[in-house]
A = this chain, B = another copy of it.
């Protein structure tokens, strides 16, 4: 998958994986990898800055903990994040409809 295809679509995906359970960064990476069937293998240089951005924006809240001698920063969805996730989903639906309307207009074959 091309790099910039992701642009603008990553945020709602991150919010989605922490919707029902708070996760730390590494676990978020794994969750994305699993939910995408192995396609979404984010480099740390993408994920961690994104998480900080989302926290700064108020969509995520984080908390440090130590598990098995390793420090974890666990993120959970805020109420603003919940709204943002809902918005992101409907924006995705709209975007998808636009792309498909252009790529495969009614009556097109291939």
Chain A residues with a Cβ under 8 A of chain B: 1-9, 12-13, 16-17, 32, 35-37, 39-40, 86, 88-89, 91-92, 94-99, 101-105, 110
Whether A89 lies near B103 (C-beta < 8 A) is yes
Q: Interface SS of chain A: helix, strand, loop or mixed?
A: helix
With A and B bound together, what is the CA distance between A7 and B7 in angstroms?
A: 6
Known: A1-B98, A5-B9. 15 other contacts (CB 8 A): A5-B7, A7-B8, A13-B102, A13-B103, A17-B102, A32-B102, A35-B101, A36-B98, A36-B101, A37-B97, A37-B98, A39-B98, A89-B104, A89-B110, A92-B99
Chain B: CB-nearest residue to A103 = B16
How often does this chain occur in the complex, in copies?
A: 2
Whether A91 lies near B2 (C-beta < 8 A) is yes
Identify 7 residue pairs between A and B in the complex whose beta-carbon atoms are under 8 Å apart, listed by A's number. A1-B98, A4-B8, A5-B91, A7-B8, A13-B103, A36-B98, A89-B104
With A and B bound together, what is the CA distance between A71 and B103 in angstroms?
A: 28
With A and B bound together, what is the CA distance between A98 and B12 in angstroms?
A: 13
Closest chain-B Cβ to A77's Cβ sits at a distance in Å of 12
